[in-house]
A and B are shown apart, each in its own frame.
Chain A
Amino acid sequence: MKIMLALFLLFWLQGSFAQKADSTFLCNESNVYFQAIDQYLHFIEKDDKRTDTLFLQSGDKITDSILSKCRHTKLVKLDNKQLKNLLRERESLNLYRIMPLQAKNGKFSVALVPFGCGFNKTKKKYEFFNGGKYIAVFKFDGEQFVFQQFEEHGI
């Protein structure tokens, strides 16, 4: 029953709140996925790991609504073809996949899955190395998503 309620709430939020301030589709700073990226950048800044460019895996509706800059970082969306072209020019890059908003126990979360990517000339394969994920947790107060905490889930 709780799962059904959570799923209903999730669909309701994705649909009904499309016109409100904090949406999963609005192309502004209140976009929950953009907020998750903002929290990730804040998280790595604490370790002095500021990055000038963050590559996001595109190809779904999630990244369509994300702004192209967050804090001091340029957000570059790459589809599969663009990624492979770029990997011919440079040896490697870190790519982030944004997972769809999840609802569990009344809380909402967005996971960022990092991959180290490169082209293995010996195997003639594109390789993606994953070491876990980052999760930004939000609560929904009836009008907007409110950031709760940021979790690092390494392997």
Chain B
Amino acid sequence: MSRSKDALPRALLVTFIPLLLQQGALLANSLSRHCFYDTVYLDRNGTLLRRVPDPGITVTFIVRTTKKTEDLYGISPLDIENVERGISHPITLEEAEKTEDLIKAGKFEEAFQTGNLVELRPLAERQADGKLMLQDNGRQGDRPQNNREYATVIYNDGNRIEMLGVVSNPHDGGEDIKIPCWETVRRYSHSHASGIWQVGDSIWHFSPQAPSRTDILAASGGQTSIVFGRDSNLVYIYNSSGVIAVLPTKVYLKF
């Protein structure tokens, strides 16, 4: 009788201990992914291509965009006439596919030599930016948080500041953020508001969501800047030549 009483817990132990060990091993593996450094490669749309363990620091690269100006800023006469219409600086589909194939094949050096990879900023920095920018929840409307711009700046001395624009609405004209000491800015990110203003049969929007003409003109040299399009829910990476990479906000804040 007592033997049969002991048999059940023993059987349970025999069954569950290996399972528990397996779970522990899986947990350890998943933790190690975050503890060790990786080089992450994203394709032109922000989809994960490869994650390669790296003894250095975690770095993320994205293949340059193939989206043309009309893809990012629209093709209707209304879009074309937009006074703040920016410009894209894409690569061809063939070039993008070639770079992505090289990454898939593990030929990273060759992929770099194409010049079609854009390095993202450190993840912690991107996530700190995202925390601010996502105060605009991207759900349009007249919510004050959705009717202002947000900006983060890192100066040459490493000092980082966060700025909030004036609450405005697209009916009265958007308000940009004046950045102090622009000449000494090393990194700059800002958002384009999702807010709308609606009266009767008319709707006012902020446009464009991608970097505006003013943004691109203000970009200097090879330094890349960032726009969070809160309505489009995309992050645009641009320099003085135009938009060079585009990816979903969620991906920008994850990898």
Contacts and interface: CB of A to CB of B under 8 A. Distances in A.
Interface of A: 91-94, 97, 99, 111, 113-118, 123-133, 152-155
B172 A131 contact: no
Contact of B172 (A91, A99, A154): A99
A101 to B, nearest CB: 15
A50 to B, nearest CB: 14
B212 A154 contact: yes
B76 interface: yes
Interface of B: 76-79, 81-84, 149, 170-176, 192-193, 201-208, 212-215
Nearest to B204: A128
A128 B176 contact: no
B203 A127 contact: yes
Nearest to A123: B203
Contacts of A129: 78, 82, 170, 204-208
Contact of A126 (B84, B170, B173, B201): B201
Contacts of B79: 116
Nearest to B190: A155
A117 to B, nearest CB: 7
A133 B201 contact: no
Q: Is the interface of B mostly helix, strand, loop or mixed?
A: loop
27 contacts: A91-B78, A92-B81, A94-B81, A97-B173, A113-B172, A114-B83, A116-B78, A116-B79, A117-B78, A125-B202, A127-B204, A128-B170, A129-B206, A130-B171, A130-B206, A130-B207, A131-B208, A132-B84, A132-B212, A153-B174, A153-B176, A154-B176, A154-B212, A154-B214, A154-B215, A155-B84, A155-B214
A131 B78 contact: no
By Cβ-Cβ distance, the 9 closest A-B pairs, closest first, are: A154-B214, A131-B84, A129-B207, A92-B78, A133-B173, A113-B173, A118-B78, A155-B174, A130-B170
Contacts of B205: 127-130
Contact of B206 (A123, A153, A155): A155
A133 B206 CA distance: 11
Given A92-B77, A132-B212, A111 B173 contact: yes
Contacts of B172: 99, 113
A133 B82 CA distance: 12
Contacts of A91: 76-78
A93 B78 CA distance: 7
A99 B205 CA distance: 18
Nearest to B209: A155
Contact of A131 (B77, B174, B203): B174
Given A92-B81, A133-B173, A125 B203 contact: yes
Contacts of A97: 173
